[in-house]
Amino acid sequence: MAKIMNKGLMTSLCSLLFLFLATSLVSSQEAATANLEVSIASSGGFGCKSNLYSWSMETFKGDLYVGTNNNRGGAFGLRFFIAGLPLRIFTAGGQVHKGTRNSVTGDWSWTRVLEDGLNDKNNYGIRKMKAVGDWLYGVTGK
């Protein structure tokens, strides 16, 4: 039994080390292949340094909507969140940002359309969005 517990503890510690490294070494880069082009549409958390994680995206009426995980704890708080321990003290509530792309220059302009987790900071992120007809629905993480 002790060997199993030690192996479980070692697995947990290795997982936490991986999460630490993964959240510490993240970088934004552009990439392209013959079939796909990936480019940065926004950087810096849409002007809010607490937006460390873009959680969902959906196109709606020609614009792109991005739901965020708003984490005031920085990379430290994000590590707890990824480990499955979303500490409420680290969040100000999720946000949704609407992006409109200039058809000539390709530049994006962003507008915050939802903030503060719908007036409940425990709604720490917008996990999923889905456009249905004339409506855009969102699901929060709580």
Is the pLDDT assigned to residue 135 strictly greater than 70? yes
Number of domains composing the chain: 1
Read off the pLDDT of residues 50-74 as tens digits, 9 standing for 90 and up: 777 788 899 999 999 999 887 776 6
The answer to whether position 87 is within a domain reads yes
Residue 20's pLDDT is what? 44
Q: What is the mean pLDDT of residues 97-102?
A: 90
Dist. CA 136–CA 125, nearest whole Å: 16
* Sequence-separated contacts (24+) of 57-64 with Cβ below 8 Å: 57/129, 58/129, 58/130, 58/131, 58/136, 59/131, 60/129, 60/131, 60/136, 61/131, 62/100, 63/98, 63/99, 63/100, 64/98, 64/99, 64/100, 64/101, 64/108
Q: What pLDDT is stored for residue 58 in this prediction?
A: 92
Specify the pLDDT at position 26. Answer: 43
pLDDT of residue 17: 46
Domain boundaries, position 81:
42-141
Percent of the chain with pLDDT over 70: 60
Is pLDDT above 70 for 3?
A: no
Domain assignment present for residue 11? The answer is no
On whether residue 7 sits in a domain, the answer given is: no
Share the mean pLDDT of the chain.
74
Domain contains 27: no
Q: Flag whether 14 is in a domain.
A: no
Confidence of residue 5 (pLDDT cuts 50, 70, 90): very low
Q: Is residue 95 part of a domain?
A: yes
Task: Please indicate, yes or no, if residue 137 is contained in any of the structural domains.
Answer: yes
Does residue 83 form part of some domain?
yes
Q: The dihedral of CA 24, 29, 68, 47: what is its sign?
A: positive
